[in-house]
């Protein structure tokens, strides 16, 4: 149990376009989802925390208008990178946390975004 | 965890030897810690966790030690295997209501034959 599906696994887009990444909890309801960004050979940096039905909480330094997060249901959160630029190229990873005590943090498989 | 943005330190270990990976955390309010393994191009994979009311926890071939006095966490891997080659991260739950996990800098483990 406790599977998180992240889609797409990789995407290439042109500068100035927007890209949407989906994160789904397949077998549990995720009251809270987290979005991380990871540059090559670096750690995961928390970008934002999203709760179902409410606005996301962004970490300091993360532009909320650039990284739009929507957590419309208990099983789906989306991250949209708007007006993407090459410096947004990174590995984006979501994590979901369910309400049951035995569900800790479950991570998606990540999305490799390349902006050209 | 330790400062993010730094390049990963590397631990080279011979197959069959024990590995010890260290992590310093910064927030004394953190009450829950997790070790993750990350292979290239994949998301983090849970290894073992420990709560702040414990100082040691054992799993299959892995042991986590927590020293709250010096805010230090370690992961010991017994009889390291080639499949253990990966990047290892410690993560801390800082005890806030969201349950946010902050990751340490990570250590690249390379298992040599």
The pair of three-digit structure tokens given for residue A86, joined into one six-digit string: 């090459």
Question: Which residue in B has a C-alpha nearest to residue A34's C-alpha?
Answer: B100
Contact yes or no for B73/B22 (Cβ under 8 A): yes
B4–A42 CB contact, under 8 Å? yes
Planar angle of CA A77, A82, A85, nearest 5 degrees: 125
Cα–Cα distance, B35 to B111 (Å, whole number)? 18
Cα A98 to Cα A2, A26, A34, distances in angstroms: 8, 11, 12
- pLDDT of amino acid B7: 67
> pLDDT truncated to tens, each residue of chain B (113 aa)?
334 445 689 999 999 999 999 999 988 889 999 999 999 999 999 999 999 999 999 999 999 999 999 999 999 999 999 999 999 999 999 877 678 899 999 999 999 99
CB within 8 Å of A61: residues ≥ 6 apart? none
Taking only the tens place, the pLDDT of each residue in A28-41 is 888 899 999 999 99
Q: Which residue of B has its CA nearest to A56?
A: B98
Q: Chain B: nearest CA to A27, how far in angstroms?
A: 18
| Cis status, amide bond into A8, omega within 30 of 0 | yes
Residues of chain B with Cβ-Cβ distance to A97 below 8 Å are 99
């Amino acid at each position: 149990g406790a599977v998180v599906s992240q889609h797409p696994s990789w995407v290439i887009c042109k500068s100035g376009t927007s890209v949407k990444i989906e994160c789904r909890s397949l077998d549990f309801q995720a009251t809270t989802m987290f979005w991380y960004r990871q540059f090559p050979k670096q750690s995961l940096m928390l970008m934002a925390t999203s709760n179902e039905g409410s606005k996301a909480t962004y970490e300091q330094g993360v532009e909320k208008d650039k990284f739009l997060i929507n957590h419309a249901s208990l099983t789906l959160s989306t991250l949209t990178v708007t007006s993407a630029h090459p410096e947004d190229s990174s590995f984006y990873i979501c994590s979901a946390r369910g309400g049951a005590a035995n569900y800790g943090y479950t991570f998606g498989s990540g999305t490799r975004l390349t902006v050209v | 965890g330790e400062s993010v943005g730094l390049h990963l330190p590397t631990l080279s270990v011979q197959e069959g030897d024990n590995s010890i990976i260290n992590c310093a955390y910064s927030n004394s309010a953190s009450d829950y810690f997790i070790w993750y393994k990350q292979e290239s191009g994949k998301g983090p994979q849970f290894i073992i966790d420990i709560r702040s009311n414990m100082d040691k926890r054992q799993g299959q071939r892995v042991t986590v030690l927590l020293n709250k006095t010096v805010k230090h966490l370690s992961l010991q891997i017994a009889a390291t295997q080639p499949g253990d080659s990966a990047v290892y991260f410690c993560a801390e739950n800082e005890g806030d209501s969201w349950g946010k996990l902050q990751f340490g800098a990570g250590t690249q483990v390379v298992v040599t034959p």
